[in-house]
């Protein structure tokens, strides 16, 4: 049986906006509270980060499940998407800046303490950095499809050079090039801001490398001090499960590694039952 899914007008969520201090950027986010939250406080709060080219509703099968566990859930439209601001400059999409945006959101929406973090795709790239830049705000991480990799030392390599070394990532050059947004940016799903914002995430490699050069030596052997889980899939040629080999050394509190063999990259919606089972098992330690 397919798990319960959130709908675009679902009464279980409310819509909110927050403005990032010292910027003109506004984030839209969904907020969902357990049904009995008026009489019993949520057991914890979960922040869910979607990837490309998704929306907060990309977590539609997971939100009702998390509510059933007595958890409060915050789900933003990431920068460039949905009702969130979509600046034109790729510099605004650096992982360092995005981490500060999310840190503000966590402190504003959940001032009582740190959150559990769930991530997918670009949301996972960002989530690992958020847990580095603001470890005091995160008490556990579960990620789908994107393993953690430490800040890179040495020469800054361009996206073109990176793709030459990893040809399976050639789609990133296409996404960064501008042609795709010109062709499909006017379709109804992206009619508000087009595709420039979502594609800008692919134009940040050198920006992120420059931001992280001061961190590279310090974090080469750094370990996360919170429990974590990484879930890979069997049908994603660009991101095979073996990318997690050796990842355990970065996690002082343990790393659970899982693979859903029958899933594609869009695991959250293609195999939601299996996804929710793994999330539930991982979150038991916090409940």
Among the listed residues 54, 77, 121, 211, the single catalytic one is 121
Cβ(139)–Cβ(226) below 8 Å: yes
Pairing status of strand 26-32 against strand 71-76: antiparallel
Q: Where are the beta strands (DSSP E) in 121-182?
A: 138-144
Closest by CA position to 5, among listed 58, 50, 61:
61
Query: Which string of b and e fits 184-213 if b means at least 16 CB within 10 Å?
Result: ebeeeebeebbbbbbbbbbbbbebbbebbe
Output the DSSP codes for 210-224. Answer: HHHHHHHHHHTT--B
Residue 166 annotated among the catalytic residues of the structure? no
Residues contacting residue 283 through CB under 8 Å, at least 6 positions apart: 44, 69, 71, 116, 140, 142
Residue 265 annotated among the catalytic residues of the structure? yes
Among the listed residues 28, 50, 104, 265, the single catalytic one is 265
Residues contacting residue 80 through CB under 8 Å, at least 6 positions apart: 86, 87, 93, 193, 196, 197, 198, 200, 201
Decide: residue 230, CB within 10 A, 0-12 exposed, 13-18 middle, 19+ buried: buried
- CA–CA distance, 125 with 146 (Å, rounded to integer): 7
Residues contacting residue 122 through CB under 8 Å, at least 6 positions apart: 51, 52, 78, 146, 201
* Catalytic machinery residues: 121, 265
């Amino acid at each position: 049986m397919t798990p319960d899914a959130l709908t675009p007008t679902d009464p279980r969520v409310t819509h909110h906006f927050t403005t990032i201090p010292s910027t003109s950027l506004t984030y839209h986010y969904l907020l969902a509270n357990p049904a009995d939250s008026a009489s019993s406080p949520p057991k914890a709060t979960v922040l869910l980060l979607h990837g490309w080219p998704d929306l907060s509703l990309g977590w539609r099968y997971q939100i009702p499940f998390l509510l059933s566990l007595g958890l409060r859930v915050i789900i933003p439209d990431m920068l460039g998407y949905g009702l969130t601001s979509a600046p034109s400059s790729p510099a605004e999409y650096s992982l360092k800046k995005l981490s500060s945006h999310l840190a503000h959101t966590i402190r504003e929406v959940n001032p009582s303490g740190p959150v559990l973090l769930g991530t997918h795709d670009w949301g996972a790239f960002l989530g690992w950095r958020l847990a580095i830049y603001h470890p005091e705000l995160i008490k556990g991480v579960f990620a789908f499809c994107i393993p953690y990799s430490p800040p890179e030392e040495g020469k800054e390599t361009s996206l073109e050079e990176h793709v030459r070394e990893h040809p399976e990532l050639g789609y990133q050059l296409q996404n960064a090039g501008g042609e795709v947004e010109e062709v499909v940016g006017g379709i109804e799903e992206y009619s508000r801001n087009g595709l420039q914002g979502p594609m800008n995430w692919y134009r940040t490699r050198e920006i992120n490398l420059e931001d992280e050069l001061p961190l590279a030596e310090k974090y080469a052997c750094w370990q996360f001090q919170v429990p974590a889980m990484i879930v890979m899939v069997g049908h994603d040629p660009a991101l095979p499960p073996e990318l997690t080999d050796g990842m355990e050394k970065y996690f002082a509190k343990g790393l659970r590694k899982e693979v859903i063999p029958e899933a594609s990259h869009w695991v959250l919606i293609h195999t939601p039952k299996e996804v929710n089972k793994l999330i539930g098992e991982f979150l038991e330690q916090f409940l």
